Amino acid sequence: MILAKDLTKRFGGRTAVDRVSFEIPQGQVVGFLGPNGAGKTTTMRLLTAYLPADEGRAELAGIDVSEDPLAVRRRLGYLPEDNPLWEDLELTEALHFAGRLRGLGDGAQRAARVKAVVKSCGLRREVGSKVGELSKGYRQRLGLAAAIIHDPDILILDEPTSGLDPNQVQEVRGLIRELRSRKTVLVSTHILPEATAVCDRVIIIHRGRIAADGRPADLAGDLADKNRLHLELRGPRDEARAALAGLPGAGGVSDGAPGSFVVESPAGVDLREEVFRLAVRRDWPILSLRQERLSLEEVFRALTRES
């Protein structure tokens, strides 16, 4: 569980994080979205007690971050921004070192954990390589492996896919997806498809404040002021148009290409079933039917547009 309550952080006169509050229940994967400089990294640093908050408080697994940072960090795996690694170590040495720093008991227990994360993060091929020689994708996997070496309940990942090529992005997303349900994950990104791909929920932060918080689909719904139904059917044009406009709750109807119509309705009114029944009654075969939704990208742009 991750809890932020009115978290505020100022640097000089600038407020980097401004009364940020959210609660992430156990087992949820949450995307933390925002343009560069929105306050994502600073918020994460407050949650990990790397920086002290000026106001507000944070709790991880029910433990207050400022009261017992060490207890919090024992439960936490953190991948900092830019994934800093000790370049001169060999891959498994780096993982052993991370394990030793975390006090992962005797050699056998640690070796078992190292083996487990090498497997789960798909690092086997690169065992024996120096960290400094790894490709960016493998570096990212190694950073993730080091962050989960102690099998933490909570993961905070700062831009784990930044700078990766599309294949590598897919791989890292796959890893995060596998952690889902077992761990509480807060993952920051400024790449939108990422949030839709792996997250149960997204929190959008803009200029240090939370601009939106919800399931990707709900966010799009909330923001749209009306529904648009794109429809293609085979039937007499004017008659069909009049019939569609006569449906209960339907607003304007416009038609474009032959047989294509766009039926508008107020937000919250779903006309799809009514349209289906009408088409069946009149024997007008439906060729396509699509409810328009704002994409997360449009939501994001709408919320974070510079005013």
Partner 1 sequence: MSGSFFQTHAVRALAGRTLRWYFDSPSAYVTLLVFYLITGWLFAAPLFLVKAASLRGLADLAPLLLAFLVPALTMGLLADELKSGTFETLATLPLEDWDIVLGKYLGFAALHLVCVGGLLFYVAVLGLCVSPSVGLDWGEMLGTLLGLASTGLAFGAVGIFASSLGRSQVVSFVAAFLVCFVLFLLGKSAALLPGGLGNLVGYLGLDSHVDNLAKGVLDSRDLVYFASLVSAFLYLTVQRLRSRRF
Interaction between residue 43 and partner 1 (CB under 8 A): no
Between 82 and 222, whose beta carbon lies closer to partner 1? Answer: 82
Among 71, 111, 262, 269, binds partner 1 (CB under 8 A): 71
Give me the 143-172 binding string for partner 1, x by CB under 8 A, dash otherwise: ---x--------------------------
Minimum separation from the CB atom of position 140 to partner 1 (A): 14
Q: Is residue 102 a contact residue for partner 1 (CB under 8 A)?
A: yes
For the CB of residue 84, give the shortest distance to partner 1 in the complex, in Å: 3
Taking the C-alpha atoms of residue 79 and residue 117, their distance in angstroms, rounded to an integer, is 15
Return the H-helix or E-strand segment holding 46. helix 40-47
| Site size with partner 1, rule: CB under 8 A | 26
Asked if 297 touches partner 1 (CB under 8 A), the answer is no
Name which position in 19, 64, 97, 286 contacts partner 1 (CB under 8 A).
97
Residues 6+ positions from 161 with CB-CB distance below 8 Å: 140, 168, 169, 172, 173, 189, 191, 194
Q: At what angle do helices 216-223 and 296-304 cross, to 10 degrees?
A: 60
Among 23, 67, 101, 234, binds partner 1 (CB under 8 A): 101
Q: Is residue 30 within 8 Å of residue 203, measured between CB atoms?
A: yes
Residue 219 CB-half CA count within 13 A: 24
CB of 183 to partner 1, least distance (A): 17
- Please state the closest distance from residue 269 (CB atom) to partner 1, in A: 49
Choice from 27, 35, 80, 214 touching partner 1 (CB under 8 A): 80
88 binds partner 1, rule: CB under 8 A? yes
Residue 106 CB, nearest approach to partner 1 (Å): 11
Q: Which amino acid is at 182?
A: R
Q: Is 103 in the site for partner 1 (CB under 8 A)?
A: yes
Provide the b/e sequence for 21-51 (b: ≥16 CB within 10 Å). Answer: ebebeeebbbbbbbbeebbbbbbbbbbbbeb
- Does residue 76 contact residue 60 with C-beta atoms inside 8 Å? yes
82 touches partner 1 (CB under 8 A)? yes
Distances (CA, A) of 12 to 9, 16, 46: 10, 10, 16
DSSP structural state of residue 35: -
- First and final CA of the chain: distance in angstroms? 34
Among 48, 140, 189, 304, binds partner 1 (CB under 8 A): 48
Tell me which residues touch partner 1 (CB under 8 A).
Answer: 11, 48-52, 70-71, 73-74, 76, 78, 80-82, 84-88, 97, 100-103, 146
